[in-house]
Structure 1
């Protein structure tokens, strides 16, 4: 009974790592985008900062805490049990991370392109309003940066 419970807990931790890391890192990237595009809006700045802090820490906790606990309190790997149903469930959820990242890439390409053109439009229509000029320049400058972040996260995440 205890072995089955430990196997279920291990598979639950594995499922949380397979699905949780991509989801939390996407929310971390969303917080980064919110913070970069907030301008002088304190509510968006606060939301972006909270997203960055909470989901950044959450990503690292899900990735590293089970490994740290296992290295200090874990035992040698035992023989696999016959309960394959939980393992099959977790293995079937494994492609979710790559699906999320490819969907994020396909969504981010038109959004960042649109953000670039809106930045140019806002900059050209600003007239003598310096706040609008800064907003247009910021949107134009940070759209390639956000695209780079979206494209680099799937490449950097396996190296964590």
Structure 2
């Protein structure tokens, strides 16, 4: 973990030197941070915005977005704890510790997703049964003829027979 941070710091220092050479020595450290972090931030925002627009069209968009946000916060928290351990010498600063902490979150989230999936499946099946039962009750009621004081109309076949027999009687 310590080596990873040192490598990242070396990369940042190299980028700092290259940008200073490109734009001249007139750029202060604060102005360099302003431009670099501003550009990185807006590019990251556009990428996240695109991903969120895609996710929001999915069925469980709130759950997906909650997981992504929580995972991001957990990543920052895990690395902050590892850096704190290195600063205070209250533990070993190792990348494996950070990775294991994130795996813990992923496993607990998988258990949560499984339990909620079972509950959701049961809920949707009960809802479908209630809807099917209600639909059959409505269709039975629709098949019943309304009660009225007028005499029911005779079928066409019966009427034609009656007419034929009436013609013969005259």
So what's the TM-score if we normalise by structure 1? 0.30
Q: Quick one: higher RCO (CA 8 Å, sep 6+), 1 or 2?
A: 1
Larger Rg: 2
